[in-house]
Amino acid sequence: MKYTKNTLGDAVEQVFKILGKDAFSPAFRSEAIDALDDANMAAVALNKQKKDILKMVEDYEDVIAKIRNAAKQYSAKVAKADFDLDDKKPDEKKKLMQVRKILTDSMNDLDRQCQDSLKSVDAIEKALAGQI
């Protein structure tokens, strides 16, 4: 929060410059004036927490990127692996295709979960955008 006692004081001072020193101006409630300092201190604390949370989000995004990269690399290895099976034999070729599909589907599922997690943290980042 950028509004302070000084901001209010400056505004009141400008009013009296225009109207004269003896002019009437309604009084701003004193508890509201005192609350400005409390609000500003709370905003400073919130902004620090926000900065810490955004750093945690960034760290989390980095870890998710590593997981996604590892899953892609593993999927590429699975696609090339023969699992000591002879793909020229129909029964073994069928097993090879099943094994590859199971592992590839698993890595695709992991990637989808990572993408969902990234969407969640993107929502956090958007919610915390801007100064409090």
92 part of a folded domain: yes
Query: Above 90 in pLDDT, residue 81?
Result: yes
pLDDT, residue 113, reads: 97
**Structural domain harbouring 102:** 5-127
Residue 113: count other Cβ atoms within 10 Å of its Cβ.
14
132 part of a folded domain: no
Residue 107: count other Cβ atoms within 10 Å of its Cβ.
19
Q: How confident is the model at residue 55 (pLDDT cuts 50, 70, 90)?
A: very high
For the chain, percent helix, then strand, then coil, each to nearest 5?
A: 80, 0, 20
Residue 103: count other Cβ atoms within 10 Å of its Cβ.
17
60 part of a folded domain: yes
Q: How confident is the model at residue 96 (pLDDT cuts 50, 70, 90)?
A: very high
Helix axes 90-127, 30-80, angle to 10 degrees: 170
How many domains, the chain?
1
